[in-house]
Amino acid sequence: MPDEDGHPSREEMSLLTVLNALSDPLRYAVVGALLREPEGTARTCASFNLPVSKSTITHHFRILREAGLVQQVDRGNSRAATLRRADLDHRFPGLLDLIGANL
């Protein structure tokens, strides 16, 4: 079962759900931006400067989190996200390389 924040375990991830999460241009851009950072980098949702409302940003990060693409951690009054590289590379080998080659 996903944890209390909706993060699926590695085994619970589904490629269809991951592809769905990646199929939105804003979410694809977030994953691409995290992919360009050093491994383990945590960025706040606000740092991506997405041109949409705060509630829409929350929605997009929920989709990313529930698909297993990002891990969100509380940071006082904001949340930061890291890319779940090791889990994604293990579960869907080659996927992040593909995205990295198509940014």
Q: Is 25 in the site for a copy of itself (CB under 8 A)?
A: yes
Instruction: Draw the binding track, 68-97, toward a copy of itself (x: CB under 8 A; -: no contact).
Output: ------------------------xxxx-x
Smallest gap from residue 85 Cβ to a copy of itself (A): 16
φ and ψ at residue 43, rounded to 5 degrees: -120, 140
> Least distance in Å: CB of 40 to a copy of itself?
24
Tokens of 49: 């400067």
Q: Which residues contact 10 (CB under 8 A, 6 or more apart)?
A: 68, 87, 90, 91
Q: What is the DSSP letter of 69?
A: S
- Does 16 engage in binding with a copy of itself (CB under 8 A)? yes
